[in-house]
Amino acid sequence: MKKKLFITRKFPAQFVEPLEEHYDIEQWEEEETVIPRAKLLAAVANCEVLWVTIADQVDEELLSHAPNLKLVTNLAVGFNNIDVPALRKRGIMATNTPGVLTNTTADLVFGLLLATARRIPESERYLREGKWQSWYPMQLVGKDVSGATIGIIGMGRIGQAVARRAKGFDMKVLYHNRRRRHEAEEMYGFCYASLEELLTKSDFVVIMTPYNKDTVGLIGAKELALMQEDAVLINASRGGIIDENALYDTLKNGKLWAAGLDVFEQEPVALDHPLLTLPNVVVLPHIGSASLKTRTAMLMLNVNALMAYVQGKPLSNRID
Residue ranges of the domains in the chain?
3-96+292-311, 102-283
Task: Identify the active-site residue in 9, 165, 176, 286.
Answer: 286
Residue 91: what pLDDT? 96
Instruction: Tell me the pLDDT tens digit for each residue of 298-315.
Output: 999 999 999 999 999 999
Query: According to CATH, what is the number of the domain 102-283?
Result: 3.40.50.720
pLDDT band at residue 113 under the 50/70/90 scheme: very high
Query: According to CATH, what is the number of the domain 3-96+292-311?
Result: 3.40.50.720
The verdict on whether 20 is a catalytic residue reads no
The verdict on whether 176 is a catalytic residue reads no
Residue 186: what pLDDT? 94
Task: Identify the active-site residue in 48, 223, 238, 244.
Answer: 238
Residue 281: what pLDDT? 97
List of residues 6+ apart from 146 with CB closer than 8 A = 169, 170, 171
Q: Which candidate, 297, 289, 240, places its Cα nearest to that of 104?
A: 289
The verdict on whether 267 is a catalytic residue reads yes
Domains 3-96+292-311 and 102-283 share a fold: yes
Residue 168 and residue 151: Cα distance in Å, rounded?
15
Task: Identify the active-site residue in 118, 267, 273, 295.
Answer: 267
